[in-house]
Amino acid sequence: MTTILGAAAVFLVLMVVLRVMGKRELSQMTAFELVMLFVIGDIVGESVVAEDTSLVGALIATATFAVLTVLFSWISYRWAPARPVVDGVPCIVLIDGAPDERVMRRERVTVDDLADAARAQGIKDLAEIRLGLLEPNGSFSFFERSGR
């Protein structure tokens, strides 16, 4: 039971930590951020099964994480008010070609990140974009101005 409670507590803390870390796709992470994710995983593993280093303890902790992941997904699916908390919300980072510096600072997104993502979607200039969103999964969605 201790393993389940520990895994549940760590799961909730990780959910908050990952939300605070921001919206970045794996491909956008720096080498340091990727290493930090592995270190966090190691720390979590050690803390959850510190007293029980058996295979069964590790399986129980993993099953707890899996059940909580499915539970939060189900809650998000069934209860709309939980979606912003569980899944996150898109952020408007660009309006009429002008980056919103306040939102970009909060989400740690640079103008170069926007330009790279726009080029990847075939948009040459940020001025061509009517609305740019940073999606909860870290990807960008751009809506071009009509008539261009």
Taking the model in full, what pTM does it have? 0.61
Rounded Cα–Cα distance for residues 132 and 114 (Å): 8
What residue ranges do the domains of the chain occupy?
A: 2-87, 91-144
What tens digit of pLDDT does each residue of 26-80 get?
556 666 666 766 776 776 666 666 666 666 666 777 778 778 888 888 888 899 9
Sheet containing strand 98-99, edge to edge, reads 98-99, 91-95, 129-134, 140-144
Confidence of residue 112 (pLDDT cuts 50, 70, 90): very high
CATH number of 91-144, picked from 3.40.50.620, 3.40.50.720, 3.40.220.10, 3.30.240.20: 3.30.240.20
Averaged pLDDT for residues 73-95: 88
Give the Å distances, CA to CA, from 27 to 40, 66, 92, 121, 134. 18, 24, 21, 16, 15
Rounded Cα–Cα distance for residues 104 and 68 (Å): 31
Q: Per the structure block, which two tokens stand in for 56?
A: 């069964």
